[in-house]
Amino acid sequence: MTHWYMLTLVGKDRPGIVAHLSAALYDGGCNLGEASMMRLGGNFTIMMMVQFDGNISALKHMVEPVAESMGLHLHLDRIEAKLHQHLEPDVRITVYGADRAGIVAHITGALAEAGLHILDMDTSVAGTEEKPIYIMQIEGHAAEGVGALQSALDAVAEKGVEAQLETIDTMIG
Amino acid sequence: MAVLEILTYPDERLKQESVSVERFDDELRAFLVDLEETMRAGPGGVGIAAPQVGRFERIALVDCSVTRKPVPNHGFIVLINPEITEWDGMKVGREGCMSVPDYTGNVIRAERIKFTALDGYGERHEYECEGFEARAVQHECDHLDGMLFLDRLVSRRNDLFRRKVYQSK
């Protein structure tokens, strides 16, 4: 019986993490599904769907030595998962401004009330230590229409924060 | 009339170059009818190219008059042996493809193009189009060269900020 697991790994970034990890998983008979991997604040982070015939302790036993050798924290969950279930985003929201606490909470709170289902989001802190800027990009589904989101965004937009919304009109050819 | 079977990647035939159409006969026109029916059967499809149904000739159809949000368009266009002659501007936009189910990605295309194409009777037409319709034409012309939008993907995470239009002083 084959199962899906969500494998989460976090540790100090260095070259070769993905290659080492994926080789170990391949040699151990795993198949990889969808994954998100990125460098966040000097750490490398991996969230990866792994398909494996054995139980969770067998998978942990397989991955632990690799994770330890690369200084990565390991977390494993058995998950219910299906591939080929992508939801298509129909709206993109980009926000940037001088970094301060509360930007994400205020904006996503207002958007959630107006029907936004976030499908993909990433944020970054750029600029300099003295003058950091916060940059946020969201793709999602506007369950109550794009107009509702635009109104919510206009209402919550604060001085010094630039917020833009555009529709994603996917061309299917 | 028939809805034809759509080839889906990794079918290698989608990567082959199609040949020019030489004969403009009833058989060709009957094929155009089937191709149109196939395009309209796919949910949300605004274009289709002959190689997507296993006919490796330079034939495609585009119809951007049916989009959920109206866009500038020329209605139903038959593109036989199409040639894009001018490109202007660049824009990132989201594309999907009936031959690549369950995936969409960002692709850079020219914002405005001019192109020529023959119709089902071999008559030559010239078109100028922009935006969504120009994107559809470029996507379909790519199919005729064995190219998929997967060959042109750009990052989902970067370069997505809408460009502001700067007023000239």
**A and B: number of Cβ contacts within 8 A:** 69
Across-strand partners of A4? A51, A79
> A70: part of which helix (H) or strand (E)?
none
Q: How far apart are CA B141 and CA B139, in angstroms?
A: 6
A164 touches B at CB < 8 Å = yes
Determine, for residues B95 and A173 on separate chains, whether the beta-carbon distance falls below 8 Å: yes
* Tokens at B47, concatenated: 């274009």
If DSSP codes are grouped into helix, strand and coil, which group holds residue A86? coil
With contact defined as beta carbons under 8 Å apart, do A75 and A115 qualify?
no
The pLDDT tens digits for A109-152 are 999 999 999 999 999 999 999 999 999 999 999 999 999 999 99
Nearest by CB: A171 against B43, B102, B135 = B135
* Tokens at A145, concatenated: 């229409």
The pLDDT tens digits for A32-63 are 999 999 999 999 999 999 999 999 999 999 99
The pLDDT tens digits for B73-129 are 999 999 999 999 999 999 999 999 999 999 999 999 999 999 999 999 999 999 999
Burial bucket for residue B130 (CB in 10 Å: 0-12, 13-18, 19+): middle
* Catalytically annotated residues of B: 140
Determine, for residues B46 and A172 on separate chains, whether the beta-carbon distance falls below 8 Å: yes
CA A6 to chain centre: 13
DSSP symbol at A82? -
Mutate to test the interface with A, among B62, B99, B104 (most CBs of A within 10 A): B104
Residue type, B5: E
Q: How confident is the model at residue A1 (pLDDT cuts 50, 70, 90)?
A: low
- Note the maximum CA span of chain A: 55
For chain B, the DSSP string reads: --PPPPP-TT-GGGGSPPBPP---SHHHHHHHHHHHHHHHHSTTB-EEEGGGGT--BSEEEEEGGG-SS-----SEEEEEEEEEEEEEEEEEEEEEETTEEEEEEEEEEEEEEEEEEE-TTS-EEEEEEEHHHHHHHHHHHHHHTT--GGGGEE-SSSS-SPPPPPPP-
pTM above 0.90, yes or no: no
If DSSP codes are grouped into helix, strand and coil, which group holds residue A40? strand
Nearest by CB: A173 against B43, B47, B68 = B47
Q: How high is the ipTM of this complex? A: 0.88
